[in-house]
Structure 1
Amino acid sequence: MPTLDTSLTFLGISILLSLSPGPDNVFVLMQSATHGRKAGLLVTLGLCTGLLGHTAAVALGLAAVLAASATAFTVLKLAGAAYLLYLAWGALRAPVGPMPSGSVPTLNPWRMYGRGVVMNLTNPKVGIFFLAFLPQFVRPDAGPVALQVAALGGLFILAALLVFGGIAWFASLVGVWFQSSTRAQRALNWSAAAIFIGLAARLAWSEK
């Protein structure tokens, strides 16, 4: 299992990544602001349930991929590093300014839970990100790889639950902040880009 230091570091980075602007937290924000906190919390639970599926997929397949060959390991880490750089580029180019205020269809709050699950599971970028992100905190001497990945996935889900739940709970205040502070949006974009670039460099230079 991951050490306490590794777990705390991973949890802190996961919280920062969950805070960075993205489709999931914006979706939670809009649904909470439009339909109330209960709807936003149900969407949050749905998104986190979807993360369980991605964690299981990585935990079941990662050990075999890493053990296959040095070539497979190199290809995987370079692909992961390239994807992380792509995310950094996207964060740097993300638009800032007033968020769109288009109308959102009225939905039954309980249906939003299912919508959150589907939205997460059908996003292949989440699975690819987990493949790029989780292995960097796996240590061969810390126990079975699959169990470490499962534990790290659980920590990421906890971070997402805390951040998205907080956004859902304080939706009105967060919404006003995002709409009125271009500087805050830009700071989060640059912070996310810096984290992605650092993770890409670490992954590219890692050894099997």
Structure 2
Amino acid sequence: MTGLHELLFFSLAALVLVLTPGPNMIYCVSRALCQGRAAGLLSLAGVLLGFVVHLMAASLGLTALLLAVPFAFDAIRLAGAAYLAWLAWQAVKPGGAAPFQPRTLPTDPPRRLFAMGFLTNVLNPKVAMFYLSFFPQFLHPDQGSVLLQSLKLGAIQIGISGAVNCALVLGAAGITVFLSRSEGWLRAQRWVIGSVLAALAVRIALPERE
């Protein structure tokens, strides 16, 4: 089963990924700013359900793939590293986005808030790529059920994403005002996240030493 060191590394990666600008964060923060915290939290609930859909699809798919083609691990490992490197570039490139640059949204009823949060996540390629390219780095077919290992990792990722996004929704107004007054903080946020993502990409790309 995945060791403590790997779980800590996975948790760090999940934290960095949830802090990178993406549709889920922008939607939930925008909802909180436009319609209040309750709307933001309800949207987040839909987003979290979307994670479950991604998790189940990826877990079942990876289980079948890795059982049928064991050497697919190396290909997926390199794909995961390339994906993280791409995210790092997206964070630091000129004109890159910051998390708290929300868009204006119309007022929607609770059912639509939940549904839109769900669809925003289900249709989010960033989440699908994370599960498919990053999860296999922490799966060990020789140490038990790949499906069970995937579900445990998914529970950690969903918990981290839920906690971080909940905090961002609850503090959206104050954080947005603070960051909007300091372009330096926005640039620093992007470079810190980009640097961590790049380091994670290198760590994954290099083969483990025995």
Instruction: Say whether the fold is shared (TM-score over 0.5).
Output: yes
Q: 1:143 to 1:169 in 2, by over 3 A?
A: same
Give the secondary structure class of the aligned counterpart of 2:54. Answer: helix
Does residue 166 of structure 1 match 2:167?
yes
Partner of 2:111: 110
Q: What do residues 20-70 of structure 1 show as CA deviations (whole Å, max 9, x unaligned)?
A: 333321221111011000000011111111111111111111123223336
Q: Return the letter of the residue paired with 2:195.
A: A
Partner of 1:46: 46
Structure 2 CA distance for aligned equivalents of residues 61 and 96 of structure 1: 32
Q: Contact 1:3/1:142 (CA < 8 Å) preserved in 2? A: no
**Percent same amino acid at aligned positions?**
36
Q: What do residues 132-170 of structure 1 show as CA deviations (whole Å, max 9, x unaligned)?
A: 222222234542111111111111111111011111111
Q: Contact 1:20/1:188 (CA < 8 Å) preserved in 2? A: no
Cα RMSD for the two superposed structures: 2.5
Partner of 2:67: 67
Q: Contact 1:2/1:151 (CA < 8 Å) preserved in 2? A: no
Q: 1:26 to 1:181 in 2, by over 3 A?
A: farther
Does residue 127 of structure 1 match 2:128?
yes
Give the secondary structure class of the aligned counterpart of 1:104. Answer: coil
* Structure 1: stretches of 5+ with no match in the other structure: none
Structure 1 CA distance for aligned equivalents of residues 104 and 53 of structure 2: 31
Structure 1 CA distance for aligned equivalents of residues 117 and 102 of structure 2: 21
Of stretches 121-130 and 34-43 in structure 1, the one that deviates more from structure 2 is: 121-130
Of stretches 10-19 and 164-173 in structure 1, the one that deviates more from structure 2 is: 10-19
Of stretches 99-108 and 57-66 in structure 1, the one that deviates more from structure 2 is: 99-108
Structure 2 CA distance for aligned equivalents of residues 101 and 21 of structure 1: 10
Partner of 1:146: 147
Q: 1:137 to 1:74 in 2, by over 3 A?
A: closer
Q: Return the letter of the residue paired with 1:106.
A: T
Q: Contact 1:55/1:130 (CA < 8 Å) preserved in 2? A: yes
Q: Contact 2:91/2:97 (CA < 8 Å) preserved in 1? A: no
Length-normalised TM-score, structure 2: 0.85
Question: By how many angstroms is 1:189 displaced?
Answer: 1.5
Structure 2 CA distance for aligned equivalents of residues 8 and 100 of structure 1: 30
Of stretches 20-29 and 161-170 in structure 1, the one that deviates more from structure 2 is: 20-29
Q: Contact 1:29/1:175 (CA < 8 Å) preserved in 2? A: no
Q: Contact 2:35/2:107 (CA < 8 Å) preserved in 1? A: yes
Q: 1:4 to 1:177 in 2, by over 3 A?
A: same
Q: 1:82 to 1:106 in 2, by over 3 A?
A: same
* Structure 2: stretches of 5+ with no match in the other structure: none
Length-normalised TM-score, structure 1: 0.86
Q: Contact 2:84/2:198 (CA < 8 Å) preserved in 1? A: yes
